[in-house]
Amino acid sequence: MTAAMRGMKTDAPLTLLWGNADVLKERAVKQIVEAQLEEGDREFGLIRLYANEVGLDGVVAELQSGSLMAPQRVVVVRNVTALSNAEQKQLAARLKELQPGLTVVLVAAKDLDARGWGVPVAADLRKAIEANGQIVEMRAPDERSLPRWAMEEMQALGKSLRPDAAAMLCEYGGTDTDRLLRELEKLASYVGKRDEVTVEDVQAVSVRVTEADVFALMDAIGSKDAATALALLDGVVPEGADRGEFIPFLGMVARQIRLIWQARYLRQRRISPQQVSALPAEVAGHLPERHGIVDATKGNKGWLLEKFTRQAAMFSDGQLARALDRICQADLALKGGGGKLDQRTVVELLIAELCR
């Protein structure tokens, strides 16, 4: 159980879950549902809605309806941030007085958390939730804390994860907590009755998505070589992979695009790779303080910055802006935000568009 979940109340009439870890949000939803409804009562008492599908009217109608079959109800509204600010303001007014026996759980979209704006709902809705319930952030640990976090998560699954195995798993899985949680569950199942998960187990079970693989794919995209990029995709995300494998890959591609854009900015300011470790204040002020190109290329990684700089020459600012927009659209499509294309087709079309 994460620190956030330990501090979460399961009897609050109103809860907003937000943050960059979807799996942790789903765990929290499950915990609230189990605390409020017996298993036999969930057929009629548990209502799941997607705000982007039913809209404000659908959400409000469910909040106002009652059921003789379920005097105690839990309404879970996912993608609540798909509602406009005006709609969220109307929803806030409806949430000020909830029916007896009604528990409402609102879930914010993960991608909005990346903008760094804090709780991603309208001010009126946030105030209504704070007045009548709780706001709980489900955030992934930072990169340095991931191995320890992975070991604690494995303990919750009834197994122990060796420190060296934890480090390898985090190297294989990157910083995407949702992916790492799935890998931990696979490993716990794989070792069976054994208590300890070793490096050999991680090597046997976990699929490695390396920066080198994405670099190669990005090199192909930067060269407008769609055929090579699509061929490399099979090595990064194997055929038959599920949505959970595509989403972290998409995050890595987005990270590459952002780093290339930062390299382009440095190139425009005539900053050489050798000068990045001591940037002028007016230049550094336009770059992210964390997880930016300075962090990514510090140490003995001058070659990496030179590669970003070469790739930056292949894109215009407009192309990079459109690339990030298309990645966002693909991310929404993978998460069920519209469209009928399968996950692989969504990603293949994205790559083809990035190669234009």
**348-351, long-range: CB < 8 A, 24+ apart:** 348/230, 348/233, 350/250, 350/326, 351/217, 351/221, 351/226, 351/229, 351/230, 351/233
Indicate the pTM of the whole model. Answer: 0.55
| pLDDT at position 80 | 92
- Rounded CA gap, 37 and 45, in Å? 7
Pair (76, 147) in one structural domain: no
The mean pLDDT value for 216-220 works out to 80
Burial-class residue 335 by CB neighbours within 10 Å (0-12, 13-18, 19+). middle
Q: pLDDT category, 15, cuts 50, 70, 90?
A: very high
Centroid of chain to Cα 216: 23
Same domain as 292, residue 224: yes
What are the DSSP calls for 327-354, one per residue?
A: HHHHHHHHTTSS----HHHHHHHHHHHH
pLDDT digits (tens, 9 = 90+) for 72-109: 899 999 989 889 999 999 999 999 888 888 999 999 97
Domain boundary, last residue among 137, 162, 185:
137
82 plus 158 within the same structural domain: no
How many domains in the chain? Answer: 3
Write down which residue in 86, 103, 137 finishes a domain: 137
Instruction: Decide: helix, strand or coil at residue 285.
Output: coil
Are 60 and 121 found together in one domain? yes
Do 159 and 242 reside in the same domain of the chain? no
CATH number for the domain that contains residue 115: 3.40.50.300
Two tokens, residue 67: 């059921």
* CA 254/CA 262 separation, integer angstroms: 12
Shared domain for 186 and 299, answered yes or no, is: no
Q: Cα separation of 103 and 38, whole Å? A: 14
What are 109-138's pLDDT values in tens digits?
765 444 445 788 899 999 999 998 999 988
* Same domain (yes/no): 216, 91: no
Tens of pLDDT, residue by residue over 161-184, are 999 888 888 876 666 677 788 788
Chosen domain end from 164, 180, 205 = 205
CA atoms within 13 A on the CB side of 159: 24
CA 52 – CA 320 distance, rounded (Å): 28
Q: Which domain holds residue 99?
A: 3-137
- CB-count exposure of residue 156 (10 Å: 0-12, 13-18, 19+): exposed
pLDDT score of 48: 92
* CA distance linking residue 115 with residue 187, whole number of Å: 32
Instruction: Give yes or no: residues 301 and 348 share one domain.
Output: yes
- In tens, the pLDDT along 268-291 reads 877 765 666 667 776 776 777 666
Give the three-class secondary structure for 197.
strand
Q: What is the mean pLDDT of the chain?
A: 81
Q: 297-353, pLDDT tens digit by residue? A: 665 556 777 778 888 888 888 988 998 899 888 888 887 655 667 788 888 899 898
